[in-house]
Structure 1
Amino acid sequence: MPYRWSPPAETPLELQLWPHNSLPPQGFAAMILGFFLFASIPLYGLLGTVLLWGILPFMLAATAALYYALRRNARDRQILEVLTITPDMTHLTRTNPDGAVQDWESNTYWVQVALHEKGGPVPFYVTLKGKGREVEIGAFLSEDERKALFSELQDRVRAANTP
């Protein structure tokens, strides 16, 4: 799962969440090279003709567009959410792809973990509520991961409230 809890014996308890990265750098290079090679196959029959120069720019533009799209997707997935839970305070920090940081904190005693099956931007939307504000957590996770996260969050917040 693309999230990790610190060991339970550690204080404060920390949860780190990030989007799943299914295309490692080696896969990115293989994808671009494979696309370029397969897109160039029809051009071999046009070697030595004027038609090659008419089709070649489109093949190169398609390769460049694929490169840009994959790089943009990787950049947009540079999200990190860190939730810190202590008996006194719960603190959530989200670092967005553009480097902007969003913070939320509340007294752990008043924190409510909610799972919204419908009505959110994604099904089974997980939120934390406290100090008059409700914030999302893990919206980039898959539906099953959000369900598992919800039950784990409930257990950990409840355990932090128990002396």
Structure 2
Amino acid sequence: MPHTWTETSPPDARMELRAWPHNSLSAQGFAVMILGFFLFASIPLYGLLGTVLLWGLLPFMLAAVAGLYYALRRNERDRQILEVLTITHNSTRLLRTNPKGDTQEWEANTYWVEPQLHPSGGPVPFYVTLKGAGREVEIGAFLSEDERKALYGDLVERLNRARNQREFS
């Protein structure tokens, strides 16, 4: 799963979630994809070697390779998202780093934070939000449907645990 939880022990108990989009194409896979596309796209051109027609079709094949290269690099750049949720007995803080490097921040009192699961009506099925401090923020919208369901269960459990720590401290 493209998210992990880390915890520290009391008295400064802190639970931290790090979530990021799944990136299935490695650097080696990227190179294989570009090379493979180039080789398979050039097969029809072998019969045109030595003709003027080759020079008419070659720019289109190279433009297709360049387009694929650009699309894969852009997709990789657009998926550089990191969400860090920090839960303590006093506060819950969500910090989202977007692909361009800008950050968005939300913070609320843990006692009033309410995780919500929206089975429909959101941008994705089983949309997970956190509500508190007069705002509702999304979390993990880039995760798969099953991962969002698991994340919701984790959020409910860990927020309850943080609230219970507050009551006993």
Pairwise TM-score range, normalised by the shorter structure: over 0.9
Aligned counterpart, 2:123: 121
Instruction: For 1:21-100, list aligned pairs within 5 A.
Output: 21-100=23-102
Structure 2, unaligned runs of 5 or more: none
Q: d(CA) in 1 for partners of 2:35 and 2:156? A: 46
Aligned counterpart, 1:5: 5
Q: d(CA) in 2 for partners of 1:149 and 1:20? A: 15
C-alpha displacement at 1:20, in angstroms? Answer: 0.2
SS of match in other structure, 1:48: coil
C-alpha displacement at 1:105, in angstroms? Answer: 0.3
Q: Which moved more, 1:35-44 or 1:9-18?
A: 9-18
Q: d(CA) in 1 for partners of 2:63 and 2:32? A: 18
Contact 2:81–2:97 under 8 Å retained in 1: yes
Structure 1, unaligned runs of 5 or more: none
Q: d(CA) in 1 for partners of 2:106 and 2:81? A: 16
**TM-score normalised by structure 1 residue count:** 0.98
**TM-score normalised by structure 2 residue count:** 0.94
- Over the residues paired in the alignment, what is the CA RMSD in angstroms? 1.0
C-alpha displacement at 1:12, in angstroms? Answer: 1.6
Aligned counterpart, 1:131: 133
Contact 2:7–2:14 under 8 Å retained in 1: no
SS of match in other structure, 1:23: coil
Between Structure 1 and Structure 2, how many residues are aligned?
A: 163
Aligned-residue identity in percent: 72
Residue type at the aligned position of 2:159: V
Q: d(CA) in 1 for partners of 2:107 and 2:147? A: 23
Q: d(CA) in 1 for partners of 2:49 and 2:3? A: 51
Aligned counterpart, 1:112: 114
C-alpha displacement at 1:76, in angstroms? Answer: 0.4
